[in-house]
Amino acid sequence: MISDRCNSVYNAFEDAAGRWPGRDLLQTLPGTAKVYGIPSGTMRYGEAKAAVDELSARFEAKGYRSGMRVAVLLENRPVFFIVWLALNRLGISIVPINPDLRAAELEYLIGHSEPALIIAVKPRQDELRKASAAAGMDLSVVGPHDPLPAPRGNSVVAQEDGGEAAVLYTSGTTGNPKGCVLPNAYFLLAGNWYASVGGLAALSTDGERMITPLPVFHMNAMAYSFMAMIAVGGCLIVLDRFHPRSWWSDVAQSRATCLHYLGVMPSMLMGADPSSGDKEHCVQFGFGAGVDPKLQAAFEDRFGFPLVEAWAMTETGAGAVIAAHTTDRLVGQACLGRPGREVACRIVDEEGNEVTTGAPGELLVRRAEGDPRYGFFSHYYKDPEATEDAWRDGWFHTGDIVRRNEHGDMFFVDRKKNVIRRSGENIAAVEVESILMRHPQIKAAGVTSVPDPIRGDEVFACLVVDDPSPDLAVEITEWCLGQMAYYKAPGHIAFVDTLPLTATQKVQRAQLKRLAADLVGQSGTTVTAHLKKRQAA
C-alpha cells in the first residue's frame, strides 16, 4: 500500500524504490522494442529512481518549476513514466498527448493546455511545432533524450502548490475535449484502491507482474496499472498495442500474473482456434470492461482466469469505481458489480427522481463520507461552468444509464451522453461534426453510432452535400484522417437531403440514431471503416 505520508506520485515511487530497489518496475518485450526501436529488457526500481532524479535535476536546472505543464507524445514507451515521475518530483504537471491525434486536435490541445515544453518522439516533432505555431504558442519541441531548452515564457498556468499531477483530455458532448485536471490524490487513491480491492482481483506484495496493451496516456494505465504496481512493488509490462497473434506468447514471456483488457480483446482472442497452450500462463485475473456477455463464461473456461468487469471514468478515478471482483459476481450479464461502502450512488430519471429497483436511470456518484469529491478529478480546465454542472446538487452526473437489481448489483444499459464508444475510445459526436463542417463540400453533418460486432460502436455520418457519390465519401474520410484521430473518422457515410433537426435547428439525436440504424448496410451508404487504420508515427 502507498503510505499516508506520501503526498505525490513521486513520493509513492520513491518509497517503493526504497523498499524494493532490486525488483523490476518496467519491462519492455522484444516485440514492443522492435516497433519502437528501443532496447528490450527490464528496468528495476533502483535504476528508475536514479534516472528519474537525474532527469528531474536537469529540468530544475533549466528553470522548470511547480505550476508549469509539460506535454508529452511518447506513445507507450517506458520513458513516459520516467518523464512523468521526474516532472512530478518538481510539482510540474504532465499533459499526455494521444499519438493518434492529428492537426486540428493537436492545435486545440496545445493552445488549451498551455504547456511550457513538448517532449515527443522524433517523427511527430515537426507536426507538433506546426500545431503549436497555429495555436499561437512559442513552444520548443524536443525528444526525451535531447538537451532541455528553457521553458516557454509566462508558462506557470496551474496552482504552484504541486497538487496538480496531470491534465487528461476526454471527449465532451458539447464540442472540444475537456481538460480534466487530476491531482496527486487521484493517482494515490487509485493505486491504493487496486492494492486493497481483494477478491478475484487480489494483488500481493510478492512481485506481481501486470501486462497491458492499453494506452499510457489514458487514466487506466496511468492511474490503475502503474500506481497499483507502485503500491505493491510490482512490474508493469506495457505493449505498444494489442497484437492478437502474439498476445499469449507475450503474456507467457512476461510471466504476467494479471492483465488489463478492453471488450474487443476477448472477442478477438476467442476467434482463434483453441490450443493446448491456452492455459499455459501465470495469469490470475484480467481487469477491464466491455466483454461480450455471450463470451465471458466461455473465455474464462477456456483460458482459466476470471475477467473482472469494472466501471469508472476519467473524472471519477477511484473516487467512485465499481468492480465485479467478488466470487458471487454475475458472469455473462454485463454486470458491473456492487459499489463499495466508500461510494455513494443514486440512479435517477430525467427529473432527478430516484428510479425503482430494476428501472434504468442515470448514475450519480460521490464519496460516501468526508469530501464528496475525494479521488475525483479536480476540475475541467478553463471551464468552471462545466465542472459545476457535472457536480450539480452535490453529485457527479456520469451520463451513463444503469440499472440496479434487488441485491445491489449494477448493470450498464446505455449512455445518456452523446458519446460514441469505439474499441475503448470515447468519441464526441459534436467534435467530429465540427471538424467535418470544415470540409468545403459539406453543408451539414450529423454523427452518431451504429453497433459494430468487434469494436462495440462505429462512427456513422449523415452528410448533406451538393454532389453525393461513393468517391466523395472516400475522399471525405481520407481528409478526416489528416484532421482527427483515425478512430474518430466516419466508418459509414450516408448522404442525405436533410438532417433531423429540433425547432431550434439543432440535430435531433434520437431521430438521427434511428435514421442511421435504418441506413446502415443500405446501398446508398458507403462503408469507409476499412480506411480507418492507425497511422505510423
Q: Where are the domains of the chain?
A: 9-401, 419-531
Task: Check: CB of residue 500 under 8 Å from CB of residue 464.
Answer: no
Say what the pTM is.
Answer: 0.86
DSSP for 39-95, please give it. --EEEEHHHHHHHHHHHHHHHHHTT--TT-EEEEE-TT-THHHHHHHHHHHTTPEEE
CA 531/CA 516 separation, integer angstroms: 20
Report the 10 Å Cβ neighbour count for 150. Answer: 12
pLDDT digits (tens), the chain, 537 positions: 999 999 999 999 999 999 999 999 999 999 999 999 999 999 999 999 999 999 999 999 999 999 999 999 999 999 999 999 999 999 999 999 999 999 989 999 999 999 999 999 999 999 999 999 999 999 999 999 999 999 999 999 988 777 999 999 987 555 688 999 999 999 999 999 999 999 999 999 999 999 999 999 999 999 999 999 999 999 999 999 999 999 999 999 999 999 999 888 998 899 899 998 899 999 999 999 988 888 999 999 999 999 999 999 999 999 999 999 999 999 999 899 999 999 999 999 989 999 999 998 999 999 999 999 999 999 999 999 999 999 999 999 999 889 999 999 999 887 776 678 898 888 878 888 888 988 999 998 999 999 998 888 999 999 999 999 999 999 999 999 999 999 999 999 999 999 987 655 668 888 899 999 999 999 999 999 999 988 766
Task: Check: CB of residue 377 under 8 Å from CB of residue 186.
Answer: yes
Question: What one-character DSSP code corresponds to residue 150?
Answer: P
**Of 113, 53, 304, 281, residue with least CA distance to 200:** 304
| CATH homologous superfamily for the domain 419-531 | ANL, C-terminal domain (3.30.300.30)
pLDDT of 128: 98
pLDDT of 534: 83
Pairing of strands 335-339, 285-289: unpaired
pLDDT of 413: 81
| CATH homologous superfamily for the domain 9-401 | ANL, N-terminal domain (3.40.50.12780)
pLDDT of 173: 55
Task: Check: CB of residue 486 under 8 Å from CB of residue 534.
Answer: yes
pLDDT of 502: 63
Question: What one-character DSSP code corresponds to residue 261?
Answer: E
CA 12/CA 17 separation, integer angstroms: 9
CA 479/CA 503 separation, integer angstroms: 32
Cell numbers representing residue 519 in the block: 441506413
CA 431/CA 383 separation, integer angstroms: 17
Helix/strand/coil (H/E/C) assignment for every residue in 439-475: CCCCCEEEEEEEEECCCEEEEEEEEECCCCCHHHHHH
DSSP for 178-200, please give it. EEEEEEHHHHHHHHHHHHH--GG
